[in-house]
Structure 1
Amino acid sequence: MKKRTRFILVLAVLAACFWFLWPSISWYVRTPKDQQSLALGSLEKIKDYTTLKAKEEVDALISLAKENPDSVLDDSYGYLVKAAKKNYKEAAKVYKSAGQEAPAVPSVMTVSAVLNSFSMSYDPSGAIQSVIEGKYRDEILKAKKRYNSSVKLGLDLSGGMNIIVRADLDAALKAQNPDEVTDEAQFKKDAMAQAIETLTGRIDKFGLTSPVIRQQGEDRIYIEIPGAADSESVNTIIMGKGILNFRLVDEDATAAFNSYYAANAANAFTADGKLRDPSVIPEDCEVMGLYQKDDYGLDERIAYLAVKKAVALDGKHVTKALVTADQTTNQPEVNFVLDSEGADIFATFTAANVGKRLAIVSDDKIKSAATIRQAINGGSVSLSGGFSVEEAQNIQKILQTAWLEVPLEVESQQVVGASLGDQAIHQGMMALAVGLLLVLGFMLMFYLGAGVNAVVAQILNMYIMFSVLSAFNLTLTLSSIAGMILTVGMSVDANVIIFERIKEELRAGKSRAAAIVSGFDNAFWAIMDSNITTFIAAAFLTQLGTGSIQGFAVSLSIGVCSSVFTALIVSRLMFDFQTDVVGKKNMSISWRVK
């Protein structure tokens, strides 16, 4: 490989590693501790905080305007001043269209001028509170996104959440045809295995790394999620009650309920959510809320619909779902595929109900209600209706993940404090730093100037390892740190082999440039053989091991690859730079060889 090619390759790798590492740097270094605490909370807590904070800000601004209306807002309110200027411009358009003189945009945005700009809206206090709330919401949600893209600390370092989930095996058994179940014990065993497999796939799908999932007793599942103790992780995994189905919307019953609700909104439902006067709708119907995601990603009820109690189609028949774009309108639509049994059921049902709306129900919430335009045969179904991309993706996620044949419920969840986490992090990092310093000190003392190359290579080696952990959102545990410490000791092996080969060539009377070329060429296969065998062993451990063994093997695998790169590419480039650019003729590589 030519020197220019090696140089470009090293630059590309370093740039890519910085790109991968940036989310972790942003989270652990650039994000304030108080913002981290907020970002690690649930979306409900974030919403409560931003709503309260916005109300406090509005009250403070109103008080300030009463005391000193000409006071100028400081730079922290720049976003609010920008919104106020936009309000004046929008108001000017309205006044102009009405043939009236528009209010002038103030040259200095005082607190009274800012508040006056929002008074032009229908709901002045609500409008300014919405802007302030949006500012805090965006900051916290961006921080939450940074956390999700960064290296996570394992349960042994950061704490996390322990969850015990109960699988309702009896309900699953009752849902089966009694003639098809010959061995109840075997059925329950298979059902538990399926539930664990489903949960494992669901956790992987939502990006939760290095979880522990195992069976406890006959019908309990133990889940350990490292990192943020966020109750939404549980809701995401379990997806409520985990039942998805399709039901027909009764338009007449919906209209009747809406009329009743308009007159009795405060007393329409009992404390447990039941309709207080069931006679409002037919006996074969029930009222459910139609939900969509709000700005926080939470379900927000936008309407009520009356749907038939009879399930038209179970979600278990859905085999695949994806988001596509309509070829004519280019609007997002959701396509899903049914199994053969579901295709027959759906074809018969849609043929009999053309023109009516079909609701997708998950956890007693209506996620979507689309009109049946024609009989749908073949099991390939398309949902459209002016969805946004986010709405379409939410429906896709529901169709893909919301069905569990074994009903699950969270029996208990416990936050595990990282009482020893700080101490473990300190001791692990101290061991890593001391080990690195001792190894590098030895290389400098024994190999003199050439040892500097080894020092740089080892520092870049650690940099690459952390970058790869960040790139794949892997979890850093004590066992991972142990793998890194072992890598530090092993990775200098390649440098030692190269340096010893170069010393042999120098003793044979070769020049610096010739000794470097021969040394790297002769050391190449010795380095590759030893590292390939180590990588094979580590790779098998990553596949066959679990828990701490897997964490150790993953960090060792990454370290083996990065150490080979730094020894053969980075170190060689440094030697060539000193020879060809700096113009060194002699080699500082040993006390006895010059």
Structure 2
Amino acid sequence: MNKRSRFLILLAVLAVCLAFLWPSVTWYWGTPKEVQALALGSLENIKDYATAQASSDVLAIKAAAKEDASAAVDPQFAWLEKAAAKQYKKAGEKVPSPMTVGAVLSAYQNEQEVLDEISGHYRDNILKAKKRYQNSVKLGLDLSGGMNIIVKADLDAAVASQVASGTDVNVEQFKKSAMAQAVETLTGRIDKFGLTEPVIRQQGEDRIYIEMPGAAEADAINTIIMGKGILNFRLVDTEATEKFNQYYMQHAASTFNALGDLINPSIIPADCEVMGHYTKDDYGLDERIGYLVVKKEIALDGQHIKSAEVGADNLTNRPEVDFVLDTEGAEIFGTFTGAHKGEFLAIVSDNKVKSYARINDAITGGRVAITGFGLEEAQNLQKVLQTAWLNVPLSVESQQVIGASLGEQAIHQGIKAIVVGLLAIMVFMLIWYKGAGVNAVVAQVLNLYIMFSILSAFNLTLSLPSIAGMILTIGMAVDANVIIFERIKEELALGKSRQAALSTGFDNAFWAIMDSNITTFIAAIFLSQLGTGSIQGFAVTLAIGVISSVFTALFVSRLMFDFNTDVFKSTKVSIGWGL
């Protein structure tokens, strides 16, 4: 391969690495701290923030228009002028010039459309930042601070509870379903709490591992983990729901405050409350699709549900959800449904309406079938109902809290170790190998650059063991350069020319470098596969460092020597004292 081709390959590698590294650069150095805090929150928190900010902005714009509709739009809403212009063009109307406050509001049919436009703007900006974070190098708990918890699920107690209730249980299947539901329930609770990018996964047969970077209160977390899902049935007030939705369409920005409470409670009956109606989106998250006004009085508590499964209607073959109530629940439900024929009954979980259906007749006997859903909706509803009857006792087995200040201190110490180690090696190489030491210095810098790029490309987590792997890699990369330089010095001592000494030196050093690095790479791969936690982080970083150090030592360093030979017409090699 000629030198030009090698140079183009090096440029291509550096460009690809920059593309991989760019999300990390823009996240850690180009994203304001307040935006980072919002982006690291849960999707529900982002939605609430965008809605609250949009409501405030709509009120400000309306107030400005009321004072002077011909006034210019505030510079902070310059983007809204462009959005309003698009609305005029979409409607086939002439775009007003200049764009005034009144013209901006007139571009939309009602206040809800303005609210949606502005909240969408806030949401998109925060989600873009969230995507940058997801594509960047993550900081582990030992660097960012946070908490990790191991929760034990008492599956034997859950099985015993089912057997005691007289339910036939497939123990293996029950335990699998119980663990899956416990993980999903904890994920929903913790995400609702608004914690930073939590990691929640099953560990072994009966344990759940939870990792939460950032500041978190241990007592609050334990309350969430130990709490049980609240599931109940409420009667829907259809008339109040219609009136509320009409009111909300006209006063979307002033219906709820920042906490989600009604600003004017008198718009609904005193014995009712407003709840969001949610469904699962494509990502499995709760997505609000509307509001329902439901009675405060609980018609039936979820604790009376013994089991739930997805079936099919005998006549239409459409999916339905069948659940079985205990004796007390069957009596309560039969009396209630008999008294409210033709009305709608909502299924509420964690203060969210997950589904509602019309009561066609009194439901007695304790067996209830809910129809009117697609298969996916029915499966989602089954999961909601399972929250009540898959009662798995959870206990915190271990808990570790790392303060943010300790994490920040660890980052500074890690950076200091890398910089000091790198500078010490650079000084040694420059003193001992003189001009050739420059090649080693450049190779070291590129080595770290490539390593960080690969970490960013695969969205890997950077921890203290990972930093240790980097520092070890710096020493290994220098070792490869030392082998090459010593081989070149041996050839120069024999009286060979610069070009001949370089060619023979690199050729003789090639397999020595490859043998040592291949064995190290194999060990790192086994550690990454068999190890967990900090051991795995160290092994992954070491494996990446092995690849990058071989590339910089054999490819980049050789290219630099050849560049000096061909471009600067060097005939001698500055590679040590006495040569």
Instruction: State whether TM-score is above 0.5.
Output: yes
The structure-2 alpha-carbon separation of the partners of 1:558 and 1:402, relative to structure 1 and needing over 3 Å to count, comes to: farther
Q: Which runs of 5+ in 1 are unaligned?
A: 94-103, 244-253, 274-287, 315-345, 370-384
Query: How far apart are residue 140 of structure 1 and its match?
Result: 0.7
Structure 2 counterpart of 1:540, one-letter code: F
The range that moved more, 435-444 or 355-364, is 355-364
Q: For residue 79 of structure 1, what is the amino acid of its counterpart?
A: W
Kept in 1: contact 2:144–2:404 (CA 8 A): yes
Distance 1:399 1:502 in 2: 72
Q: CA deviation at 1:198?
A: 9.7
Please say if 1:114 is aligned against 2:101: no
**Counterparts in 2 of 1:443 and 1:550: CA distance versus 1, 3 Å:** same
1:571 to 522, 546, 557: 557
- Spell out the pairing of 1:173-212 with structure 2 (5 A cutoff): 173-175=160-162, 195=179
Relative to structure 1, the CA distance from residue 42 to residue 60 in structure 2 (aligned partners, 3 Å threshold; closer, same or farther) is same
Cα shift at 1:168: 4.5
Q: Deviations over 1:536-586 (max 9, x none)?
A: 222222222222222222211111111011101111111112212332222
Counterparts of 1:95-494 in structure 2, within 5 Å, are: 105-118=95-108, 121=109, 123=110, 125-163=111-149, 165=151, 167-169=153-155, 170-175=157-162, 195=179, 221=208, 223-226=210-213, 291-293=279-281, 298-302=286-290, 313=309, 349=312, 352-354=314-316, 356-358=318-320, 408=392, 417-494=403-480
Separation (CA, whole Å) in 1 of partners of 2:428 and 2:384: 55
Q: Contact conserved, 1:166 with 1:408, CA < 8 A, in 2?
A: no
CA contact 1:163–1:410 (8 Å) conserved in 2:
no
Rounded to whole Å, the distance in 2 between the matches of 1:140 and 1:574 is 44
- The residue aligned with 1:550 is 536
Deviations 1:71-97 (A, max 9, x none): 43355423210122123334545xxxx
Q: 1:414 to 1:513 in 2, by over 3 A?
A: closer
C-alpha deviation, 1:220, in angstroms:
6.4
Give the whole-Å Cα distance in 2 for the aligned partners of 1:313 and 1:47.
32
C-alpha separation between the residues in 1 aligned to 2:28 and 2:393? 34
Shift of 1:136: 0.9
Segment of structure 1 superposing worse, 166-175 or 560-569: 166-175
In 1, the alpha carbon distance for the partners of 2:380 and 2:133 equals: 22
CA distance 1:228–1:300, shift in 2 (3 Å): farther
Distance of 1:503 and 1:451 partners within structure 2: 13
Task: Map 1:10-159 to 2 at 5 A.
Answer: 10-67=10-67, 69-73=69-73, 75-92=75-92, 105-118=95-108, 121=109, 123=110, 125-159=111-145
CA contact (8 A) 2:321 2:382 kept: no
Secondary structure of the corresponding residue to residue 404 of structure 2: coil
**Partner SS state of residue 420, structure 1:** helix
- Aligned in 2, Cα 1:555/1:193: closer, same or farther, shift over 3 Å? farther
**Percent of paired sites with the same residue:** 53
How far is the alpha carbon of 1:26 from its aligned partner?
Answer: 1.6
CA contact (8 A) 1:498 1:519 kept: yes
Matched, 1:514 2:500: yes
For residue 277 of structure 1, what is the aligned residue in structure 2? none
SS at match of 1:291: strand
Q: Structure 1 residues 131 and 290, CA, compared in 2 at 3 Å: closer, same or farther?
A: closer
Q: 1:496 to 1:363 in 2, by over 3 A?
A: farther
CA deviation after TM superposition for structure 1 residue 171, in Å = 2.1
Unaligned runs of 5+ in 2: 245-267, 300-304, 324-346, 357-372
Amino acid at match of 2:417: A
1:47: how far off? 2.1
Provide closer, same or farther for how the CA distance between residues 313 and 179 of structure 1 changes in structure 2, counting only shifts above 3 A.
Answer: closer
SS in 2 for 1:419: helix
Report the Cα distance in structure 2 between the residues aligned to 1:536 and 1:395, rounded to whole angstroms: 49
Report the more deviating stretch, 12-21 or 458-467. Answer: 12-21
Shift in Å, 1:223: 2.8
Structure-2 separation of matches of 1:426 and 1:532: 32
Per the TM alignment, residue 398 of structure 1 is displaced from its structure 2 partner at its CA by 10
Pairwise CA RMSD of aligned residues? 5.2
Give the Cα separation in 1 of the matches to 2:484 and 2:283.
57
SS at match of 1:588: coil
Instruction: Note the alpha carbon deviations across 1:19-59, whole angstroms, 9 max, x for none.
Output: 22121112111111110011112223222222222222223
Counterpart in the other structure of 2:566: 580
Deviation digits for residues 140-166 of structure 1, max 9, x if unmatched? 111111112211111111123434545
**Deviation of the 1:363 alpha carbon:** 9.5
Distance 2:77 2:456 in 1: 34
SS at the partner of 1:299? strand
What amino acid maps onto 2:127 in structure 1? L
Is the Cα–Cα contact under 8 Å of residues 447 and 588 in structure 1 kept in the other structure?
yes
The separation in 1 between residues aligned to 2:47 and 2:127, in whole angstroms, is 10
* Deviation, structure 1 residue 229: 6.2
TM-score calculated relative to the size of structure 1: 0.68
The 3 A distance-change label for structure 1 pair 566 and 424 is same
Change (3 A) 1:312 1:423: closer
Q: What count of residue pairs does the alignment treat as equivalent? A: 491
Call closer, same or farther: CA 1:430–1:8 in 2, change over 3 Å. same
Change (3 A) 1:514 1:141: same
Task: State the alpha-carbon separation in 1 of the partners of residues 131 and 43 from structure 2.
Answer: 12
- Looking at structure 2, the residues matched to 257 and 482 of structure 1 have their Cα atoms a distance apart, in angstroms, of 60
